[in-house]
Amino acid sequence: MAGSDPQPKKATPPRPAINAPRKPLQVMHISRKTEEAIINERQSEKEFSEKTKDKRFNEKAIDEKEISELKKAPEQKKLMQGDPSDNLQAMTMEDLLNSENNSKNKKKIEVFDDQNVFEKKSRTVDEFDFDEDEFLAALEENQPIGTTGEIAKGSVIAVESDGVYVDIGGKAPGFMPKNECGLGVITNLKERFPKGLCVEVLVTREQNADGMVTISCRALELRKSWDKVQNLAKEGKVIRVKINGFNRGGVTCDFEGLRGFIPRSQLEDGENHQSLVSKTINTAFLEVNPERRKLVLSEKKAAIASRFSELEIGQLIDGEILTIKPYGFFVDLKGVSGLLHHSMVTNGSMRSLREVFQTGESIKALITDLDPSRGRIGLNTALLEGPPGELITDKAKVMEEADERAIKARNSLNKAKVDPQKEEKDINLSS
């Protein structure tokens, strides 16, 4: 058309050269869901659609009810806060009757609950069918038998090569190992412990998981032996033992199943202590210690103890002056030594102890103190005097007439023992 601008021509793209290389084709990748995922989605949609109308209706009704209650809550609050008469006017007769019945039922329920609580609290033990005898029997049945250190009695029920089984009243028998069946070596257990034999044992280990306890005849015999030895030591008794061995320090022996030791210093012939093996000697107790199992004996102390058994207070005895000390004389009394204190020598005044007796001199003296446990003997020569100081002026006459004078002195000693008791009795009667 005339007057109009000519339309511009579209530019034509350049043509590629005939021999130019072609670009590879672009392929669009479309991601597809797997068949399994598609099947699961369809299944869930089907389950949701298969919901019953009643169920969906119930859910919807519940939601609507909750919403209506939330809307009514402020109104109910206003009614509660308002005039009670308005509330009563708003309530119908049916509501009043229903509320009255509900309150009565509530009170009945509360009374019933209180009654149940009271009945539960007031029930006695007899209502539970309780049997006291059965309860005590159950306690005794479950109570463990045999504590460590306890003495038990029972009967032999079985003998094995490694030990003996004894019925001591527990849920399981007690087992006594072979080395605990007694003192010394036992070669035949069946002869020593026939079936049915009643024995007394000491429990050395409490029951294990099976209820069995470990027992011992040997431990019980050793305990009895230590008790016997302690009593003999307290009484200061002399015992006879057989020497069964020796070492550098002394000799060994057995007494009541216990191993004793006698040091060389406590033997009469300590230089030739080997020759005492298989010999029987008298001994006394030096140390008795059950906790440390220590038993020490002495032959010398036994000689002293036997010598003490021959002495008594008031007895006139011959001796020899061994040594002179500032406090008195030590006198040899044929196996034991006594002390003549300077205050017991004479009733007179003396300037020196040597003025009366000399070392090695034979004298006669009265026994005025005797302590076997401490090994002490107290002597007195002043009681043999006539006038005070006679031993200084005429010692020979006093020693010659010592036997006759000892009778008089003994009577005065006995009187001195009786008079304090009589005076004490008179004081008690007067009071």
pLDDT in tens, 282-300: 999 999 999 999 999 999 8
Query: Residue length, the chain?
Result: 431
Do 268 and 245 lie in one domain? The reply is yes
Give alpha helix (H) positions in 174-216: 189-192
Measured CA to CA, the distance from residue 323 to residue 10 in angstroms comes to: 161
Domain assignment of residue 178, given as a range = 144-214
DSSP letter assigned to residue 380 = E
**Residue 321 and residue 377 share a domain:** yes
Q: What mean pLDDT is predicted for residues 407-421?
A: 70
Whether 379 and 343 have beta carbons less than 8 Å apart is answered as no
371-411: pLDDT as tens digits? 876 778 999 999 999 899 899 999 999 999 999 889 888 88
Claim to verify: residue 201 and residue 257 sit in the same structural domain:
no
Predicted confidence at residue 295, as pLDDT, reads: 95
Q: Per-residue pLDDT tens for 127-170?
A: 445 566 765 665 555 555 667 888 889 999 999 988 999 998 87
For residues 332 and 399, membership in a common domain is answered with yes
Q: How confident is the model at residue 367 (pLDDT cuts 50, 70, 90)?
A: very high
Highest mean pLDDT (candidates 9-18, 82-91, 163-172, 189-198): 189-198
Shared-domain flag, residues 316 and 404: yes
The whole-model pTM stands at: 0.50
Higher pLDDT, 174 or 81: 174
Considering the domain boundaries, does residue 263 fall inside one?
A: yes
Average pLDDT, integer, range 23-49? 58
Token pair in block for residue 310:
């021959």
Q: Is residue 55 situated within a structural domain? A: no
CB 154 within 8 A of CB 168: yes
Whether residues 240 and 290 share a domain: the answer is yes
- pLDDT at residue 29 tops 80: no
d(Cα 369, Cα 338) in Å, to the nearest integer?
A: 10
Predicted pLDDT of residue 26: 52
Instruction: For tokens 């429990």, name the residue.
Output: 203
Average pLDDT of the chain to the nearest whole number = 76
Query: Does one domain contain both 205 and 233?
Result: no
More confident residue, 103 or 218: 218
The candidate with the shortest Cα–Cα distance to 260, out of 288, 301, 279, 238, is: 288
Rg (Cα) of the chain, in Å, rounded?
58
CB within 8 Å of 357: residues ≥ 6 apart = 321, 324, 329, 345, 363
Q: Are residues 199 and 231 in the same domain?
A: no
Within-domain flag for 177:
yes
Task: Please give the residue that has the higher pLDDT: either 207 or 166.
Answer: 166
353 shares a domain with 256: no
Is pLDDT of 240 > 60? yes
Tell me if residue 260 falls in helix, strand or coil. strand
Indicate if 314 and 254 belong to the same structural domain: no
Residue 269 in any domain: the answer is yes
Is the pLDDT confidence value at 357 over 90?
Answer: yes
**CATH number of the domain residue 280 falls in:** 2.40.50.140
Is residue 110 predicted with pLDDT exceeding 60?
no
Q: Which of 166, 187, 214 is the last residue of a domain?
A: 214
Domain assignment present for residue 179? The answer is: yes
Residue 293 lies in a domain: yes
State yes or no: pLDDT of 322 exceeds 50.
yes
Q: What's the pLDDT at 19?
A: 55
**Which pLDDT score is estimated for 335?**
75
Domain boundary among the residues 305, 321, 347 is at 305
Asked which of 249, 281, 305 is the last residue of a domain, the reply is 305
Of 173, 302, 323, residue with least CA distance to 232: 302
What pLDDT score was predicted for residue 425? 47
Share above pLDDT 70 across residues of the chain, in percent, rounded to a whole number? 62
Q: Could you give the percent of the chain with pLDDT greater than 90?
A: 34
Alpha helix positions (H), 166-216: 189-192
Residue 27: inside a domain, yes or no? no
**Rounded-to-integer distance, Cα 195 and Cα 216, Å:** 17
The reported pLDDT for the residue numbered 430 is 44
CA angle 11, 15, 19 (to 5 degrees): 170
Domains: count for the chain: 3
Same domain, 327 and 399: yes
The pLDDT of residue 413:
75
pLDDT at 94: 57
- Split at pLDDT 50, 70, 90, the class of 61 is low
Residues 324 and 299 in one domain: no
How confident is the model at residue 250, as a pLDDT? 94
317 domain residue, yes or no: yes
